Amino acid sequence: MEYRLLGGSDLNVSAICLGTMTFGQQNDAAEAHSQLDLAFERGINFIDTAEMYPVPPRAETVNRTETIVGNWLKHRSRDTVILATKVSGPNRNMAWIRGGPKALDRDNIRTAIEGSLERLQTDYVDLYQLHWPERNVPMFGKYQFDPGQETEAVPIRAQLEALAELVREGKVRYVGLSNEHPWGVMEFLRLAGAHGLPRVVSIQNPYNLINRVFETGLAEIAYREQLGLLAYSPLAFGHLSGKYQSDPAAAGRVTLFKGFAQRYEKPNVQPAVAAYADLARRHGLTPTELALSFVYRRWFVASTLIGATGMAQLTENLEAWEKPLTAAVLAEIEELHLRYTNPAP
C-alpha cells in the first residue's frame, strides 16, 4: 500500500480509504468488522464515516455506522487509525438529525461532534468534514446553479470559527470539505488565512470515469493550495463494475434504492459505461479494475474511498491497486472521455 500526506496536514493516509456508508444498512456489525479487519490487514489505515450514515439516510438507521465503527475501533490502538467523519448540513429534509439540522452554526457543529465522538468511542477525530455546503449550490446530480434558490445561510467565517474551537480543544485535528464547489473552497481558504482559522486540507467529492468534473475547476485549486481530493463513488454507484450491463436487476444500491442516485439516470451514462467496460475487457481487465485503477493514481487524489457489501467485492477493490494502467489504456480512456464527457455530473 502507498501512503500520501493529506493536503497540507501531517496525516499520512493510505491511498485507499475504507468507506463505511453501507454499515448498518446493507452490512450488519459482524460483516462490517470483517471488512475493517481485512482492510487493515491489507495496509489501509484510513476510515471515513459520517453522522448521517448509513445510506440511504433514514430515521430508523441514523448513527448506526459510527456506532459500528466505534465498537471496532475500541479494540485497536487509536494512533494506528486515521479516522474521518462528517457533520450533516441543512437542506436535505432529514429532521431526525439534531432536529433538522437547521444550520451549520456553532451549536449544531458542537452537538454533532460530541455525538460522533461518543459513538466512535474516541476523544478526537483526525479529519472533520462539512458533509455539504449550507449555502445554495447544486448537489447530488444537480449541476446548474440557480440564484432563485438563495436562502440565508450561516457565514463561512462563523462555520470556521466553530471548527476552530474544536481544533483548540483537541477534539478535531484537521478540517475538510465535502461536495464543495470552487468558490466555496477558495472562500474557506481566504477566510482561514485572513482570520487565523483552520485551513481545510481536503475535499471529498465524487470522481470517476463518468464524472470528472473535479478536473475542471478544483484540480488547479488542489494543486496550488495543497488540498487532497478524497475521491468517493469511484465505481459510480456500482455502474462502472459493469454488473448492471449484464443484469439490470443485479443486487446493489441502484436496484435496492431506486431513484436515490439521480446523477446516474442521465442519458449518456449507460453508453459510456458500456464503452469503458469494453475497453477494460479488451485489455484483460475487469471493468472494476479499470475504473478503480484510473482513480487510484490520479495526481490530485490523496485517497480513494471504496465501499463494499461483501468480502469478495472488497477483495477485488483492494487487488485493483496491483493493476496500474498502461499509457495505451490511459490514452483510450481519454478518447472515450472526449466522446462521453462527464455524463453523470
* End-to-end CA gap in the chain: 30
Per the residue annotation, which of 53, 128, 232, 340 is the catalytic one?
Answer: 53
134: cell is: 449550507
Query: Strand, coil or helix: what is 297?
Result: coil
* Residues 303-324: b if buried by 16+ CB within 10 A, e if exposed: bbbbbbbeeebbebbbebbebe
99: cell is: 432536529
262 burial (CB, 10 Å; 0-12 / 13-18 / 19+) is exposed
Query: Strand, coil or helix: what is 84?
Result: strand
Half-sphere exposure of 226 (CA within 13 A, CB side): 11
301: cell is: 487524489
Q: What Å distances lie between residue 202 and 3, 52, 224, 230, 343, CA to CA? A: 15, 20, 13, 7, 25
Angle at Cα 206 formed by Cα 70 and Cα 35, nearest 5°?
35
Yes or no: say if 271 and 310 are a contact pair by the CB < 8 Å rule: no
Pairwise CA distance, residues 6 & 86, whole Å? 16
Pairwise CA distance, residues 319 & 30, whole Å? 22
Yes or no: say if 73 and 40 are a contact pair by the CB < 8 Å rule: no
Yes or no: say if 273 and 239 are a contact pair by the CB < 8 Å rule: yes
Q: State the pairing for strand pair 46-48/228-232.
A: unpaired
Pairwise CA distance, residues 145 & 231, whole Å? 22
53 flagged as catalytic = yes
Q: List, by residue number, the catalytic residues.
A: 53
